[in-house]
Amino acid sequence: MATCGLFTALVAPGTAAAAFMGMAAPLMVGIGTIVMVERTTRTALSALTTRMTIAFLAKMVFYAAYVSVVIAFVTSDPFPFIISFTVYFVALQIIEAVYFKTLFNQTGASVTVN
């Protein structure tokens, strides 16, 4: 959230709302995905693939609907939203992947020790 605020304040103050809308969905979905994966690895590791597949399909539908609604009804100029959404989506996907790799390495190590 700090990067969104700093960027819009310093570079493009008129695009704060669109930039925030572009950041909000990927951030919330990313946090939800991390929470779901952490809980699943602690309680039912065998269900992780199924839950990740369902989450992937749900995210595809949600993102399509979210982007469509924001572009059609919320923002007057879609370009700041599209740029913000793309940057945060890609950055947060990379952060999730690195976090999951670390989590799965720790989980694998603890399973091997036991």
Q: What is the mean pLDDT of the chain?
A: 84
Apex 93 CA angle, 69 and 31, nearest 5: 75
With H, G, I as helix, E, B as strand and everything else as coil, classify residue 12.
coil
Instruction: Tell me the H-state helices in 1-114.
Output: 2-10, 16-43, 48-69, 78-113
Tens of pLDDT, residue by residue over 16-55, are: 788 888 889 999 999 999 999 999 988 988 888 999 999 9
Identity (one letter) of the amino acid at 79? F
Identity (one letter) of the amino acid at 108? G
pTM (predicted TM-score) = 0.80
Specify the pLDDT at position 107: 74
CA distance 23 to 31: 12
